[in-house]
Amino acid sequence: MKAIDLDKTICLRYCHYYKPNKNEELECFGFTIIERLINKGIEIYFKDFQHKADSIIDEELIQTICAICPFSQEDCDFFVKKTDAKPCGGLSLLGYLIDSHSISIKDIKDVI
């Protein structure tokens, strides 16, 4: 499998908070999970999805990912349920992948 630039593939494509010209060394926990899934050999399909991510991200996914994400308590408006806050790119992509049956919540739990 050829190397993937995950910043461009995940962050630029799916994250409302990503700023490509800003030197960001930190990534969301969803990004880390996707990287681990790829390293485990699970094929991740990076495509555009037809519906909004926040409509398919369920409570189990939020509790699995967000509850242990280093950004969740202080820096994540989505997790603390602030009005109109969007999920991070990693969480969005994981929601899409679960919704399309490309991965399961068990796959995610296996790499945490």
pLDDT at res. 92: 87
pLDDT at res. 107: 96
pLDDT in tens, 69-112: 888 777 788 888 777 888 888 888 898 899 888 999 999 999 99
**Per-residue pLDDT for 1 more than 50?**
no
More confident of the two residues 16 and 106? 106
pLDDT at res. 104: 93
For residue 41, give the DSSP letter: T
What is the domain partition of the chain in residue ranges? 32-111
> Using an 8 Å Cβ cutoff, are 34 and 93 in contact?
yes
Q: Select from 28, 3, 20 the least CA-distant residue to 89.
A: 28
Q: How far is CA 38 from CA 35, 44, 46, in A?
A: 5, 7, 12
For residue 71, give the DSSP letter: T
Residue with tokens 């991510």: 53
HSE value, Cβ hemisphere, 13 Å, CA-based, for 17: 17
3-state secondary structure of 8: helix
Exposure of 92 by Cβ count < 10 A (0-12 exposed, 13-18 middle, 19+ buried)?
buried
